[in-house]
Amino acid sequence: MEEMLYMQQVLSGGGVGNGLGWVQAALVLCFFMVVLWKPERIRAASLFRLACLMLALSMLLPSVLSIGIGFWNAAFSFGSGSNWLRGMNRGPSGIMALVWMFTSAARPMMVGLSVIFGLFSLMTPSPRSSASAPTKHPLE
């Protein structure tokens, strides 16, 4: 029982993963500031959308998986299902451990990818070398 409570606390953003919430809040604030005050700075709109999508998924993933784990435990702890499924919800073993490992690895990776995509979407394109001659001053 203690393992399940610990797993739900970690998946909901408390405990070990609590510092990531501040990073996500800062990213949301920065993305809104860019959209509201400097929309012309967004050079690659598709990358900016992808960054916003990754950030949203990193915020929703723990809650959705926590609800899924709750339904999983409720469905297989009341005697329904076969014996091998009933054994998988006892402590962090089997599928429950895989879900926990996926969540603990995917959330920081999604936030990191969101930062990278957001920065690349705001970068100016590399200057192209032009073969044209420099313009002369009008008084020359």
Residue 16 has pLDDT above 60, yes or no: no
Rg from Cα positions in the chain: 24
Segments making up each domain of the chain, as ranges? 2-122
Structure tokens at 21: 């919430």
Mean of all residue pLDDT scores within the chain: 75
Query: What count of other Cβ atoms lies within 10 Å of the Cβ of residue 69?
Result: 20
End-to-end CA distance of the chain: 85
Q: Name the pLDDT band for 13 (thresholds 50, 70, 90).
A: low
pLDDT at 7: 59
Separation of alpha carbons 138 and 14, rounded Å: 67
**What is the b/e burial string over 46-61, where b = at least 16 CB atoms within 10 angstroms of the residue's CB?**
ebbebbbebbebbbeb
Please answer whether residues 65 and 97 qualify as being in contact, where contact means their C-beta atoms are separated by less than 8 angstroms: no
The separation between CA 61 and the C-alpha centre of its own chain, rounded to angstroms, equals: 8
**pTM for this one?**
0.62
pLDDT at 116: 93
